[in-house]
Structure 1
């Protein structure tokens, strides 16, 4: 089973607005799962539709979404060569998403450059994308 973690701050914010706290948690979990799946399959338009239907801005919830052991949405998109999804995520998530160190202590650019250095030249386009968003 996939593990998805939503930070307590985002949950608390949404719970404070909701009259049904359990429903809000379920909705957030479903949103996170969907976004992770769309990042894997390079489905930019579904991401956009899902966020709009939920009334959420990606910038507000991005730090709270982790796609299990894969990490952030941008890392998932990168690993799965989902370039269109990565372009959408990078533009909507903001500079903080690219510059903030993740659990392994590496920023998205450092991590992606590591993939290129390890011999995966297909990730160079992601390095260039992420650097252009800084």
Structure 2
């Protein structure tokens, strides 16, 4: 099974009955797994549909979604050269998604610049995209 971590998204998701929070957590886990997959395959249309169907705003849940060892959705999109997904995520997740440091202490701009500095020039458009969203 794919590794996806979801932190507590909001206390508003917890309902009064015991089974409702469990169902909500399962739904959120499935949503996070789907978003990670869509980021890998550059499928922003499916991201929009999935978020709309779930009644969720990306800005509200973005910080809690981690796509296994790859990290954030933006990092997954960058690694997989998914520019369409990266544009969607950068626009909808908000500037905090760009400026907040990841698990390694680097924000997405510094991380992507590191990829370019290590010889992966194909990541330069991502660096420019992320800088424009700061």
Name the TM-score, length of structure 1 as normaliser: 0.95
2:29 is matched with 29
Cα shift readout 1:84-133 (whole Å, capped 9, x = no counterpart): 00000000000000000011000000000000000000000000000000
1:100 is matched with 100
Contact 1:39 1:82 in 2 (8 A): yes
Distance 2:112 2:5 in 1: 22
- Structure 1: gaps of 5 or more residues: none
Q: CA deviation at 1:11?
A: 5.3
Residues 1:112 and 1:27: Cα distance change in structure 2 (over 3 Å):
same
Cα shift readout 1:45-101 (whole Å, capped 9, x = no counterpart): 000000000000000000000000000000000000000000000000000000000
Residues 1:53 and 1:119: Cα distance change in structure 2 (over 3 Å):
same
Residue 91 (structure 1) aligned with residue 94 (structure 2): no
For residues 23-102 of structure 1, what are the structure 2 equivalents within 5 Å?
23-102=23-102
Distance 2:16 2:121 in 1: 45
Name the TM-score, length of structure 2 as normaliser: 0.95
- Structure 2: gaps of 5 or more residues: none
Q: CA deviation at 1:17?
A: 7.8
Distance 2:73 2:122 in 1: 18
Residues 1:17 and 1:93: Cα distance change in structure 2 (over 3 Å):
farther
Distance 2:95 2:10 in 1: 22
Structure with the larger helix share:
1
Contact 1:11 1:25 in 2 (8 A): no
Q: CA deviation at 1:3?
A: 1.1
